[in-house]
Amino acid sequence: MTIQIRIERTTAPKPRPQASELGFGKYFTDHMFIVDYAEGKGWHDARIVPYQPITLDPAAKVFHYGQTIFEGLKAYRTETGQIALFRPDMNMKRLNRSNDRMSIPAIEEELGLEALRQLVLIDKDWIPDAPETSLYVRPFVIATEAALGVSPSKQYQFIIIMSPVGSYYAEGIKPVSIYVESEYVRAVAGGVGHVKTAGNYAAGLKAQEGATEQGCAQVLWLDGVHRKYVEEVGSMNVFFRLGNKIVTPALTGSLLSGITRDSVIHLLRHWGLEVEERLISIDEVTQAQKDGSLKEMFGTGTAAVISPVGSLYWQGEKLTIGDGSTGELTLRVYETMTGIQTGRIEDPFGWRVALD
């Protein structure tokens, strides 16, 4: 590979937090990756430097017009001591789909992957080794040109930072309550809901506050046109087990094409199960809950991997899914996915990419 990444190592390594203190995205490692973009010059000056503040003009476009995208993935220390990423090529492909939608210049996939590899290896001692901990990796692009006209920026930075994160389930995998949102809408086809851009997340905060008030952990988003088709759970994709079929919302242009979602679909089909990607309305879900055919429901995403749903809160009613505990298939998916990620079990798909 001919990609040149300049490396400046820290002279003041930070103390590392205890596994019990980790949480999510609170601590950051000793180094970060940066590459600059300037119109006419392209992406240039790729470097790994000590983790440090970003200094921007207050007129930088990211502050005003939100031209920014991000990715999220995890690095694991496997049971054999290897360091591995989970399907990082998928993140780089999606990053460039996000870039395209947000009028940000593409980033060579090889550069992104090599940056991930070198950065994770430099800070490999930051990968926690307690069960179900990992190193969360956050690549992102920000528009840095200092100009207030509404037009694509002529300057960008692509940055990667990393955070050691704790087990999502401190006391074992546990079902959550979900609030079906009927007032707020996350995204609509023709918009940007299918890409990972900052504005999608800010737009969801208000609904999340409402869900929390109702004692729910997350929001279930319905589509913005008919206000009835299920889209996502919080910032996760969602799966329903209806009898022996598994149904997940089709990628209609307003929901994110999750890498965990794609992996779970592959895994279920690999097991010989029938998976339907299609429209599924909240009426179909609640009807299936009432007639007993809704056996299980779970969310998929990088942070939690698999998040079982124990109940739905819809139109003032609490609907329990199955017996309210983590379903049998949900648990099997969770164990298999985390097993593949951490090297606890064999990876028949070539998803685990060893870095060293």
CB neighbour list of residue 164: distance below 8 Å, 6 or more residues apart: 16, 17, 22, 27, 29, 126, 127, 128, 133, 134, 135, 136
Closest distance to a copy of itself from the beta carbon of 223 (Å) = 9
Please count the other Cβ atoms lying within 10 Å of the Cβ belonging to residue 276. Answer: 15
Rounded distance between C-alpha atoms, residue 336 and residue 333, angstroms: 5
Measured from the CB atom, is 43 or 51 closer to a copy of itself? 51
Q: Kindly state the tokens that stand for 20.
A: 């019990």
Measured from the CB atom, is 19 or 147 closer to a copy of itself? 147
Q: Kindly state the tokens that stand for 45.
A: 């000056």
Q: Kindly state the tokens that stand for 102.
A: 């947000």
Rounded distance between C-alpha atoms, residue 264 and residue 75, angstroms: 19
Q: Kindly state the tokens that stand for 108.
A: 């060579």
Measured from the CB atom, is 61 or 77 closer to a copy of itself? 61
Strand pairing report for 317-320 and 305-314: antiparallel
Question: Residue 292: which region, alpha, beta or left (left: phi > 0; alpha: psi -120 to 50)?
Answer: left
Measured from the CB atom, is 67 or 338 closer to a copy of itself? 67
Contact between 139 and 34 under an 8 Å Cβ cutoff? The reply is: no
Q: Which of 94, 19, 100 has the alpha carbon at shortest distance from 67?
A: 100
Give the single-character DSSP code of 125: G
Rounded distance between C-alpha atoms, residue 217 and residue 175, angstroms: 10
Rounded distance between C-alpha atoms, residue 94 and residue 251, angstroms: 14
Rounded distance between C-alpha atoms, residue 344 and residue 335, angstroms: 9
3-state secondary structure of 183: coil
Rounded distance between C-alpha atoms, residue 122 and residue 131, angstroms: 22
> Cα–chain-centroid distance for residue 58?
29
Rounded distance between C-alpha atoms, residue 138 and residue 135, angstroms: 10
Closest distance to a copy of itself from the beta carbon of 133 (Å) = 15
Closest distance to a copy of itself from the beta carbon of 185 (Å) = 3
- Cα–Cα–Cα angle for 220, 225, 230, nearest 5°? 25
Measured from the CB atom, is 37 or 240 closer to a copy of itself? 37
Measured from the CB atom, is 183 or 346 closer to a copy of itself? 183
Closest distance to a copy of itself from the beta carbon of 61 (Å) = 9
Closest distance to a copy of itself from the beta carbon of 336 (Å) = 26
The site for a copy of itself (CB under 8 A) is made up of 23-26, 28, 32, 51-60, 62-68, 70, 101-103, 136, 138, 140, 142, 146-152, 159, 161, 163, 183-192, 197-206, 208-209, 224-225, 227, 234-235
Contact between 177 and 311 under an 8 Å Cβ cutoff? The reply is: yes
Measured from the CB atom, is 53 or 272 closer to a copy of itself? 53
Measured from the CB atom, is 111 or 222 closer to a copy of itself? 222
Measured from the CB atom, is 190 or 348 closer to a copy of itself? 190
Measured from the CB atom, is 151 or 287 closer to a copy of itself? 151
3-state secondary structure of 242: strand
